[in-house]
Structure 1
């Protein structure tokens, strides 16, 4: 009798698994594991929810400590208005960091643009002259940064640090240490309650428009994809046909543009130009960007997360100001909140299988 060869036992594979492939555990209904874009999207959602949770806790703390003042409509308008200026700067910073760079000069550029736009000679041209000057100065400084970094081969940290010192010095020279008062009514009227649209200050509307445009540019355009590609792997981006030097130039010009817009908003809010404007904006913007989920090494950026980071910092400042706490205590609390927010994000991401 001929004996049949003995084969090793095999588990039955359901036909739904495809051509001999075992179904993947934890994947979607089709049996395929989630792709990298899906995983990044899930992590971004978790991160934003964590930031929203931190913001909700801060609002609750403010409501408990100063219920009559913090939750008042006028105070909420003030918080959003203050967040608008640094928020516009942060949108530009998000692009720079996502592209693998850094910009330490944003606060100094805001100061220079604000004082240059409020000189007596500039104010003679009215509203248009002030707005145009602020934007042109911001774009010009960003262009210098971009040329030094992209075509001059300078390290972004050094190039923008040099711009920080130069812009601050020039702003001081223009003002001679004095405050320049704005006398153009069309500019001052934008900050008056009569200019509010449905109870929303015009500065907040501008911030909202910049945020939406920033999100669209980063997530829905070739410019955004090139930015993330250059930040993630510059050499691979170059081999793919991307002009990385030109892209980096554009990023710093964009950051300068945002600084110019922020300078104009600051002029509207304060009614003046000072060489001390924008003090420490660079630190607040970088912190908000990193907390929001943008990688400091580049390759990943999120406008929504950056905006939430700005709102968290502005809310902290407002709560401490209402409770008459010293500035040093505010700085300590900000540092603690930064650490707590980041730890909360990492813990949540580990629970969901993120990295």
Structure 2
């Protein structure tokens, strides 16, 4: 005996027919990160504020180029920091590594090898410091906070020892010319182009490679990642090597920007990089983060600094504003995680 056919399921707005064509606009909206849109909105609001308070100075082409150039150095550091935080780690030594790499690359002996010598030394010093951090954390089983704090103290001390507290001026013309206007390509400073390249590579590495997926997996649940066949220790070593590499590149950019190497370079870079990553949506507990969000966080911070400087506001007010933004970002993260 045949059973009667079940009544057809009513079609509602919440359950469209399977063969109904999807709206292109709805597909686009579902792919867009709401946080990224929010950050773009904040950045746009800051541009409006800068344009209203100091229209002639803020919207000047030279000033916009300056903002992007200043964002390039800390931006490269933030890309590396984002990977480390996504994996559930932290790197407090990035500022010290930038300082050490910059002074080591600007010694008289190093400058004798010209442009290649300075670039090579900065990158190698960054990688070397990242290797030490990675070995201590991954294989020495040290807490990332302690290991990188020790590198912070050691790096600053060694940088001071190398310079004897003095500024090391760069005498290599090919390095200095990178910071001059004649080196701009279509109005874009070379430092900004390097920053853009690092950002693109970082985005591809995080979103289109197994390295990125493993980094997220380790940060989300290290034990589950290990059971899934991921070598967690080796992955963490690679991540700190990546952070050190970014610090080495940033050190070279800072040498070009300042024309010198100083043991005070990179001061508080670790705090700025962590703050930018958090604002961009990277969880301090690991397992989630975006390169795009971190870069927007950097641009927001640098734009705030520029607006405050143009309006002759005190540095203390600027730091308070930074702190308020960080607290707001963390509260938003907690609210998002509980919903």
Q: Which TM-score applies when normalising by structure 2?
A: 0.91
CA distances 1:235-267 after superposition (whole Å, capped 9, x unpaired): 111011100000000000000000000000000
What is the match of residue 87 of structure 1? Answer: 75
Distance 1:12 1:313, change over 3 A: same
Distance 1:228 1:69, change over 3 A: same
Determine the C-alpha separation between the residues in 1 that align with 2:290 and 2:86.
8
Determine the C-alpha separation between the residues in 2 that align with 1:44 and 1:129.
43
What is the match of residue 156 of structure 1? Answer: 144
Tell me if the contact between 1:229 and 1:299 (Cα under 8 Å) persists in the aligned partners: yes
Give the paired residue count: 328
Distance 1:179 1:27, change over 3 A: farther
Say which one has the larger Rg: 1
- Residue 179 in 1 paired to residue 167 in 2? yes
Equivalent in 282, 287, 295 of residue 307 of structure 1: 295
- Residue 200 in 1 paired to residue 195 in 2? no
Q: Give how far 1:346 is off.
A: 7.4
Determine the C-alpha separation between the residues in 2 that align with 1:223 and 1:71.
40
Equivalent in 9, 25, 29 of residue 14 of structure 1: 9
Write out aligned runs for 1:95-244 (5 A): 95-244=83-232
Q: Give how far 1:336 is off.
A: 2.4
Q: Give how far 1:310 is off.
A: 0.2
- 2:230 aligned counterpart, secondary structure: coil
What is the match of residue 3 of structure 1? Answer: none
Q: Which TM-score applies when normalising by structure 1?
A: 0.87
Equivalent in 303, 316, 335 of residue 304 of structure 2: 316
What is the match of residue 24 of structure 2? Answer: none
C-alpha RMSD of the superposition: 2.4
Write out aligned runs for 1:15-54 (5 A): 26=14, 30=18, 42=30, 45-54=33-42
- Residue 336 in 1 paired to residue 331 in 2? no
What is the match of residue 50 of structure 2? Answer: 62
Q: Give how far 1:284 is off.
A: 0.4
What is the match of residue 3 of structure 2? Answer: none
Tell me if the contact between 1:44 and 1:293 (Cα under 8 Å) persists in the aligned partners: no
Determine the C-alpha separation between the residues in 2 that align with 1:332 and 1:306.
20
What is the match of residue 271 of structure 2? Answer: 283
Distance 1:60 1:340, change over 3 A: farther
Structure 1 residues not aligned, in runs of 5+? 1-10, 17-22, 32-40
What is the match of residue 6 of structure 1? Answer: none
